[in-house]
Structure 1
């Protein structure tokens, strides 16, 4: 699996595009799972308020993509239409 395949799968699963970032940019989006190439490997981390937390290193793009897919599908808050259930 590569980033193109992952993006298609996440769209099929109704994952919000704001929940992840698969492209290297000059900045990381807020509250998103990010994928970046570092040297000969890949890194996945959660970006929030300019901080990178929970960094995971992978040898291949495919391993990193499958990790992101599992993480986002396991998180109901990443889905389009998700509501907290609290009345405001």
Structure 2
């Protein structure tokens, strides 16, 4: 039942087709988990590093953390998807 098609109702009377694919949902869940771990580590260490370099942690941290986490999330998602879904 890996690529089965299930019919689901959203409560409003409309019937929506929902594709069930465990591999895709696992790849997304795993990449989200890894991204959250990376975000917590970067979000807690970057202000400490900025303070040690005599920069204002509040000004440096917000845009830099957001940019780094977005880039890491994209890379992690592609790596996990490529590895787990055998796309390469």
Structure of greater Rg = 2
Q: Shorter-chain TM-score category?
A: 0.3 to 0.5
Give the TM-score of the pair, scaled to structure 1: 0.33
Q: Which has the higher helix share?
A: 2
More strand by share: 1
